Amino acid sequence: MSRYIVTGTNRGIGLEFVKQLLAQGHDVLATARDPEAVPALRELQHTHKQLTLLPLDLSDESSIASFAREASAQPIDVLINNAGVYGPRNASLGVLRTDDWAEVMLIDLIAPIILTQALLPALRQGKVKRIAFLSSMMGSIADNSSGGAYIYRSAKAGLNQAVKSLAVDLSKEDFIVLPLHPGWVQTDMGGPNAQIDTKTSVTGLLQRIQNSTAGDSGKFLNYDGKTIAW
């Protein structure tokens, strides 16, 4: 079995990642800003001794550094950068604010790369060497036919570019690095009218993460394995 780190596990897709990975028998280090305050995580920890909970605030670089020091005490096989935010729902042209944009860019684009960088020594010691980033089809420039969503779209498009560079830079070390679209999922962000539930999304995402080959590294993939145009 492998050792996984999953960020943003207090609800939705992140929590489902934890449930499915534990069911598969893996060791899981799950993060949230305050994981001890999440009843679902505490309940899982009571029934699964291979689950570790650690606090991580991606908006705070000192929190990232502290987390990385503790998490790197053992080799890391797989890192799943799941945590992210959408930003203000009313951030349309005419009411865009610098502070809103900066916050989403920090959490969705900058922080996951900084965290990965901090964990890289422990990831290099792992046997599986896989790094996944939860992106979004809304970051696809080719798919943007409806406009709007300036903040979220640009953050995910930027993440895709950074992850592509990471895939190229780590290719000689046999890492598989993937930007992944989870689908339109029934979560707080996706809303109740979304097309799929978290179980369906995460089942597909784990298949991509666990079964992808070196030739898939750096590709922008949907949860069902289809390639998404940049």
Write out the chain's pLDDT in tens, 230 residues: 999 999 999 999 999 999 999 999 999 999 999 999 999 999 999 999 999 999 999 999 999 999 999 999 999 999 999 999 999 998 899 999 999 999 999 999 999 999 999 999 999 999 999 999 999 999 999 999 999 999 999 999 999 999 999 999 999 999 999 999 999 888 776 677 778 999 999 999 999 999 999 999 999 999 999 999 99
pLDDT value at residue 119: 98
**Strands (E) located in 93-134:** 130-134
Question: 80: closest CA among 46, 149, 47, 128?
Answer: 128
Across the beta sheet with 78-81, what order do the strands follow? 51-55, 27-32, 3-6, 78-81, 130-134, 176-181, 221-222
What is the per-residue pLDDT for 141?
Answer: 98
Predicted pLDDT of residue 190 = 67
Alpha-carbon gap, residue 209 to 177, rounded angstroms: 9
pLDDT at 206: 98
**Residue of 170, 161, 164 lying closest to 130 (CA atoms):** 170
Contact yes or no for 57/86 (Cβ under 8 A)? no
Q: Domains in the chain and their CATH numbers?
A: 3-222 (3.40.50.720)
pTM above 0.85, yes or no: yes
